[in-house]
Amino acid sequence: MPLSLKQSKRPWQLLLLAGALAIPTLAIAQPASKPVPKVAVNVHTELTGLNHPWSLAFLPDNQGALITERSGNLRLWQPGKPLSAAITGVPAVWLEAQAGLWDVRLAPDFAKSRRVYLSFAAKDDKGEPHAELGYGTLSADGLHLENFKTIFVEQPALESGINLGGRLVFDPNGNILMSLGDNNQRIQAQQLDSLRGKVIRLTPEGGIPADNPFVKLKGARPEIFTYGNRNPQALAYNPWTKDLWETEHGPRGGDEVNILAAGKNYGWPVATFGIDYSGMPIPEAKGSHLPGMEDPVYYWRISPAVSGMAFYNNSKFPQWQNSLFVGALKETTLIQLDVKDKKVMGENRMLEGLGLRIREVQVGPDGYLYVLTDESNGKLLKISPK
């Protein structure tokens, strides 16, 4: 039985299982999943009234945090103070389905440069939408983003506002990685001349790092770091192994946690644990495991709709050490995964029954967990063990 398969008598889940069983599967090398001991938690509401908040980045020296709203606003939150008005200087976004303003990340040298990176969807002069990446300089008072510069525009134009990715992370060398979903153009995730269904890697100014895996391959896009990624929802470096981890939306079932390595193929859409939304197998799928394609380190046969994630590496709460926290949109929970080296040993569910679509998870400088809920009246919650 695959990891985290839940028993259910709901008709759509039975259909999912029936469709999934129509795809041949091979066992992959994973430890048996077992529940992580549940820990009662305190939940404190820090903010309400956010318009579909998407991302959270803590500023140094207790200056608060920047929060993106998918509608296009970037806000400054400082504990004990009112939420700021929309920070000026943020580019206009294309708001459609999952498109809008996505991730906010601080440059590794932010203390000196004050540089803030944003990923977003925007329309060009022809009215065509694209996934974009850029940066600006945050003013001393935190209320203005100055001299914003776009450094990457995905080509060609987006087909729709779904499966867009949009997550950012800096690697140890200061290069920036950005996730790009397949935009429902499934087979393009396997094509190296397309940026659909990829994680790309750029220099801080938008150039191509010389050691990108496909720089010298004729016909391949040199930005590509990994491919075969359906809709990556989070990127984070494991603080203990230094590997790059990713959460990824499957179709109907098949959400994944992957360890990403340069030049590797993560299978979509020919290798998947999910099925189509119609209940039929994915047309291009040939199994759950194929030679030359990377297996997930963890997956769910029934999708929780994974989102942001954060490794817990703080001495504040020792009982959370070696944990990876993953938000869940559809199943409205916070998932705690027990991580050992490059394996997931088990999971626990938190915040169940509250109906909260968890979009973002971060560990604050104070050691508490902070999550954003993806709602028209979105919340910022601070979480700690009781």
Q: Mean pLDDT, 10 residues at a time, over the chain (386 residues)?
A: 35 34 36 65 96 98 97 96 96 98 98 98 97 98 98 98 98 98 98 98 98 98 98 98 98 97 98 95 95 97 97 96 97 96 94 96 98 98 95
pTM: 0.91
| 373 within 8 A of 363, measured Cβ to Cβ | no
How many angstroms separate the Cα of 288 from the Cα of each of 27, 28, 197, 251, 294? Answer: 9, 9, 18, 13, 10
Amino acid at site 2: P
Compute the C-alpha angle 231/232/236, nearest 5°: 175
Half-sphere CA count of 129, side-chain side, radius 13 A:
20
| 244 within 8 A of 278, measured Cβ to Cβ | no
How many angstroms separate the Cα of 107 from the Cα of each of 31, 58, 66, 176? Answer: 36, 12, 13, 9
Q: What is the rounded distance in angstroms from the CA atom of residue 306 to the CA atom of residue 304?
A: 6
Phi, psi values for residue 112, rounded to 5°: -100, -45
* Closest C-alpha to 299, from 251, 364, 265: 251
pLDDT (0 to 100) of residue 11: 34
Amino acid at site 35: P
38: Cβ contacts below 8 Å, ≥ 6 apart: 348, 350
Compute the C-alpha angle 288/245/379, nearest 5°: 105
pLDDT (0 to 100) of residue 339: 96
Half-sphere CA count of 386, side-chain side, radius 13 A:
7
pLDDT (0 to 100) of residue 109: 97
List helix spans (H) across the chain. 11-21, 110-113
| 199 within 8 A of 178, measured Cβ to Cβ | yes
Q: Which superfamily is assigned to 11-385 in CATH?
A: TolB, C-terminal domain (2.120.10.30)
Cis bond upstream, residue 156 (ω within 30):
yes
List of long-range contacts for 93-96, beta carbons under 8 Å, 24+ apart: 93/120, 93/121, 93/122, 94/121, 94/122, 94/123, 94/129, 94/161, 95/70, 95/71, 95/121, 96/121, 96/129, 96/160, 96/161
| 206 within 8 A of 152, measured Cβ to Cβ | yes
| 371 within 8 A of 291, measured Cβ to Cβ | no
Q: What 3-state DSSP class applies to 157?
A: coil
| 77 within 8 A of 48, measured Cβ to Cβ | no
Q: What is the rounded distance in angstroms from the CA atom of residue 209 to the CA atom of residue 195?
A: 16
pLDDT (0 to 100) of residue 45: 97
Q: What 3-state DSSP class applies to 113?
A: helix
Q: What is the rounded distance in angstroms from the CA atom of residue 305 to the CA atom of residue 377?
A: 20
